[in-house]
Amino acid sequence: MNNLFITGTDTGVGKTVIAGALAAVLKKKGIDVGVMKPVAAGGWDDARFLIRAAGVKDNLFLVNPYCLGTPVVPAVAAEIEGVKIDIRKIKNAYDALSKKHDMLIVEGVGGLLVPIYRNYLVTDLINYLKLPVIIVARPGLGAINHTLLTIRQAKVSRIKVLGVIINNYDEANAGIAEMTAPEVIERIGKIPVLGIVSHIEGADTEKGFKALVKEVEERVRFDLIC
Ligand SMILES: Nc1ncnc2c1ncn2[C@@H]1O[C@H](COP(=O)(O)OP(=O)(O)OP(=O)(O)O)[C@@H](O)[C@H]1O
Ligand SMILES: [Mg+2]
């Protein structure tokens, strides 16, 4: 079974909640899913959320080998904090978790061109781990440009994109931009939109996350993921 890398068009688009919900749904389908956040900048929240969402008991330091305190791109945070990020340590944790689980969902950091360490980018890590990606995107104005830029960069970096998940869709207030973006992204990006996930109040709380998992289960094309 393919491991997956979850990237986004930007920071704060919902990579963590979508990665967690995908893990939860796959677990419901009987797949033993592990999670990983190789590098975080700003704290352990993402790794803790992913661990809870997937219901795994893996060690926090294996799931998140590098957790920097400064909420800026990891390359800058590492420099400020005097941390040397060793990609082999990430690979070792990745290999250990891959062995333990049928499938691994790996959350990126920011978007594709975020520097992890010096000039080593998220795209370099994806290539090193040889992972296909899912792009999480916002629903409204700007989504087309940001998503097509991300798809184009993936192509330039020879990264396989399985599809786009549009997240945080507010149906009641959706305008022309929200309603037309998925079709335009598919047509120009030549990449399928795997699903459109609604805005769910309190998506990062236990109750809200349950609703989000249901939403992801019903609306995301799992047949195109694995
Ligand atoms: N579908 C949704 N409905 C409601 N809230 C959402 C939804 N998706 C994400 N959020 C909220 O938006 C915020 C950002 O989401 P999240 O942390 O998953 O983004 P991210 O892309 O992982 O960010 P980062 O780049 O910091 O890792 C969180 O507070 C999360 O609960
Ligand atoms: Mg996150």
Question: Taking Cα atoms as reference points, which of 153, 175, 155, 223 lies closest to residue 195?
Answer: 223
Q: What does the DSSP assignment read for 69-138?
A: SSSS-HHHHHHHHTPPP-HHHHHHHHHHHHHHSSEEEEE-SSSTT-EEETTEEHHHHHHHHT--EEEEE-
| Res 25: pLDDT | 98
**Phi first, then psi: what are they for 12, rounded to 5°?**
75, 15
- Using CA atoms, how far apart are residues 94 and 106, in angstroms rounded to an integer? 9
Place of tokens 């939860």: 24
| Res 226: pLDDT | 87
**Given pLDDT bands bounded at 50, 70 and 90, which one contains residue 171?**
very high
Average pLDDT over residues 166-181: 96
**Does position 26 have pLDDT exceeding 90, yes or no?**
yes
Residues 44-102 pLDDT 10s? 999 999 999 999 999 999 999 999 999 999 999 999 999 999 999 999 999 999 999 99
Exposure of 165 in the CB half-sphere (CA atoms within 13 A): 31
**Given pLDDT bands bounded at 50, 70 and 90, which one contains residue 190?**
very high
Mean pLDDT of the chain: 97
**Does position 34 have pLDDT exceeding 90, yes or no?**
yes
Looking at all shown ligands, the one closest to residue 135's CA atom is 1
CB 65 within 8 A of CB 77: no
- Using CA atoms, how far apart are residues 78 and 62, in angstroms rounded to an integer? 18
Q: What is the longest distance spanned by two Cα atoms in the chain?
A: 47
Give the distance (Å) from ligand 2 centre to CA of residue 175: 27
- What residues have a C-beta under 5 A from ligand 2, the ion? 15-16, 46
Topology (CATH level 3) of domain 4-221: Rossmann fold (3.40.50)
CB 170 within 8 A of CB 196: no
pTM: 0.98
Both tokens of 129, joined, read: 């781990």
For the chain, which residues make up each domain, given as ranges? 4-221
- Using CA atoms, how far apart are residues 37 and 44, in angstroms rounded to an integer? 9
**Does position 1 have pLDDT exceeding 90, yes or no?**
no
CB 22 within 8 A of CB 225: yes
| Res 38: pLDDT | 98
What is the CB < 6 Å shell around ligand 1? Answer: 8, 11-17, 46, 110, 167-168, 197, 199-200, 203-204, 212
